């Protein structure tokens, strides 16, 4: 994924073209002010997808926490790396399927 960086003054002058970049690339555009990072903008579809991915990750973490803290005597489990791999896979599959 290529990082797109624009100045805040360019946003004021060329809002429509920057908004189109967001929609076309489905990636955030980073805005600078006085040469330093200031703001990130993205199209609504990308924002909603990222929010859904974050919510899915939060649900996975909660489920994993509940599984680890299970009082039923279950002692099996995953390593941190296995859990991370499973979570990334689930998030990726959720994005593909629109979950």
Is residue 42 a contact partner of residue 19, using CB atoms and an 8 Å limit? no
Question: What is the fold of 4-42?
Answer: YefM-like fold (3.40.1620)
Tell whether the model's pLDDT for residue 99 goes beyond 60.
no
> 48-75: per-residue pLDDT in tens?
999 999 999 999 888 888 877 775 555 5
Rounded Cα distance between 46 and 62, Å, is 24
What does the pLDDT average to over 78-94? Answer: 84
**Neighbouring C-alpha atoms within 13 Å toward the C-beta of 18:** 19
């Amino acid at each position: 994924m290529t990082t797109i960086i624009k100045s805040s003054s360019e946003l004021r002058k060329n809002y429509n073209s920057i908004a189109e970049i967001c929609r076309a690339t489905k990636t955030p555009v980073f805005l600078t002010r006085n040469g330093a990072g200031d703001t990130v903008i993205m199209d609504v579809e990308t924002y909603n997808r990222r929010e859904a991915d974050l919510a899915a990750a939060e649900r996975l973490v909660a489920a994993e926490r509940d599984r680890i803290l299970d009082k039923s005597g279950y002692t099996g489990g995953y390593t941190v790396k296995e859990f991370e791999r499973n979570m990334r896979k689930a998030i990726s599959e959720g994005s593909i399927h629109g979950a």
